[in-house]
Structure 1
Amino acid sequence: MLTTHRKQQIIQILTQEGQVVAKDLSQSMNVSEDTIRRDLRELAREGLLQRVHGGALPASPAVADFAGREQLRHEGKIAIGIAAAAMIQPGQVAILDGGTTSREIARHLPLDLKATIVTHSPTIALELVNHGGVEVILIGGRFFKHSVVAVGASAVEAISKIHADIFFMGVTGVHPKVGLTTGDYEEAAVKRALSRASAETVVLASAEKLNAASAYEVVGLADINGIIVERSVDEALVEPYAKRGITITRA
Structure 2
Amino acid sequence: MLKEERHDFILNEVKVRNRVLLTDLAVKLNISEDTVRRDLKYLDEQGKIKKVHGGAISTSYHLYTYKEQEIYAHENKSVIAQKAHALLREGQVILISGGTTNLEFARLFPKNIKATIFTPSLPVAMQLLEHPNVQTIFIGGRLSHEAQIALGGETIQTISQVRADLCFLGTGQLDPVHGLTEFDWEVVQLKKAMILASKKIVSLTISEKINSIQVYKVCDARAIHTLITELNPGDPFLDPFKQLGLEIL
Q: Is TM more than 0.5 here? A: yes
Whichever residue aligns with residue 196 of structure 1, its letter is: L
Q: Distance in 2 between matches of 1:162 and 1:229?
A: 27
Q: Secondary structure at the match of 1:239?
A: helix
Superposition deviation, residue 160 in structure 1: 0.3
Q: Distance in 1 between matches of 2:60 and 2:233?
A: 23
What is the aligned counterpart of 1:67 among 54, 59, 69?
A: 59
Q: Distance in 2 between matches of 1:130 and 1:74?
A: 19
Cα separation, partners in 2 of 1:219 and 1:121, compared to 1, 3 Å: same
TM-score normalised by L of structure 1: 0.72
Cα separation, partners in 2 of 1:112 and 1:234, compared to 1, 3 Å: closer
Q: Distance in 2 between matches of 1:64 and 1:195?
A: 27
Whichever residue aligns with residue 208 of structure 1, its letter is: E
Deviations 1:150-184 (A, max 9, x none): 11111110000000000011121111111001221
Contact 1:141-1:151 within 8 A present in 2 as well: yes
Q: Distance in 2 between matches of 1:94 and 1:64?
A: 30
TM-score normalised by L of structure 2: 0.72
List gaps (5 residues or longer) in structure 1. Answer: 1-42, 50-62
The aligned residue for residue 159 of structure 1 is: 159
Whichever residue aligns with residue 173 of structure 1, its letter is: Q
- Structure 2 residue 216 is matched with structure 1 residue 224: no
Cα separation, partners in 2 of 1:146 and 1:124, compared to 1, 3 Å: same
Give 1:1-251 correspondences, 5 Å limit: 44=24, 46-48=26-28, 65=57, 67-69=59-61, 70-231=70-231, 235-249=235-249
Contact 1:207-1:233 within 8 A present in 2 as well: no
List gaps (5 residues or longer) in structure 2. Answer: 1-22, 30-54, 62-69
Q: Distance in 2 between matches of 1:168 and 1:242?
A: 19
Q: Distance in 2 between matches of 1:166 and 1:216?
A: 23
Q: Distance in 1 between matches of 2:26 and 2:223?
A: 31
The aligned residue for residue 3 of structure 1 is: none
Whichever residue aligns with residue 124 of structure 1, its letter is: V
Q: Distance in 1 between matches of 2:83 and 2:235?
A: 19
Higher mean Cα deviation, 85-94 or 150-159? 85-94
Contact 1:82-1:108 within 8 A present in 2 as well: yes
Deviations 1:24-53 (A, max 9, x none): xxxxxxxxxxxxxxxxxxx9452529xxxx
The count of aligned residue pairs is 195
Which of 1 and 2 has greater Rg? 1
Paired-residue identity, %: 34
Superposition deviation, residue 241 in structure 1: 0.8
